[in-house]
Amino acid sequence: MQKPQRLLWNLYGIFWSLYGRYAWDDQCWQVSEPPEHIVHIVRERHVNPDEWVLDAGCGTGNYAIALAKAGFHVIGTDFAAGMLAKAQDKVTDDLSGCIAFRRADLNAPLEFPAAHFDHILSISVLQAVANPLFTLDELHRVLKPGGTLVLSLPKRDPGVPSCSMGELIRYRIRHLERRTLGKMLLVIVKSYADRYHNRPTWTVPQAQKMLSEIGFEMVALEDGRQLLVIAKKT
């Protein structure tokens, strides 16, 4: 990553640390999948006892916590320290032996050996990295052969009408569970970033092609507000 990109990524991490610590869990408009649905998907692919799951880009740990409660050993990684701190606050004594959170940059090689995890999930993350193919290739490397990848991608849907910036901000602030000046300011900044950041999106054929190029076989795809892909490492 070039120095200007690295600086922007560090600033991005600072913002997400603040957003994760103070606003993330209060937003009611999230388009991510419900944790219980992800647990159901991974359970259906469950083969052996003591399976390990990587939550790559775990945010405040909602999926990782749900999977740990379901009996999996889980490692959650995120670049934003504030996200990880909020996630760690949710770990109860009975879960402390089967879940851990680590800071990791998905733009760099992962500090895990090859074929280390039985399952990997990455929910609403791939659009935020510098090179999605590089990140996906690293996830492929640390996944066991036959292992499960659960991937949520923003989909390309030009037919959906766009609301104005003011409408977007008002909607998000109105649906904050607890409104404070700090949270509202964070929501405003994130709304502008979401609207004007040229993040990648995927059609179903593009998602299939990308996975195939890396070495994944698509098992199932749920075409909802986002593309939820279930794949396995071939």
Domains delineated in the chain: 3-233 (3.40.50.150)
Residue-wise pLDDT tens digits, 12-61: 667 777 777 777 777 765 556 889 999 999 999 987 878 999 999 999 99
* Nearest CA among 156, 147, 171, 170 for reference residue 207: 156
**Would you state the structure tokens that stand for residue 133, as one six-digit string?**
């193919």
Helices (H), 3-113: 3-22, 35-44, 62-69, 81-89
CB 24 within 8 A of CB 59: yes
d(Cα 73, Cα 55) in Å, to the nearest integer? Answer: 11
Residue-wise pLDDT tens digits, 87-143: 999 999 999 999 999 999 999 999 999 999 999 999 989 988 989 999 999 999 999
CB 186 within 8 A of CB 44: no
CB 165 within 8 A of CB 191: yes
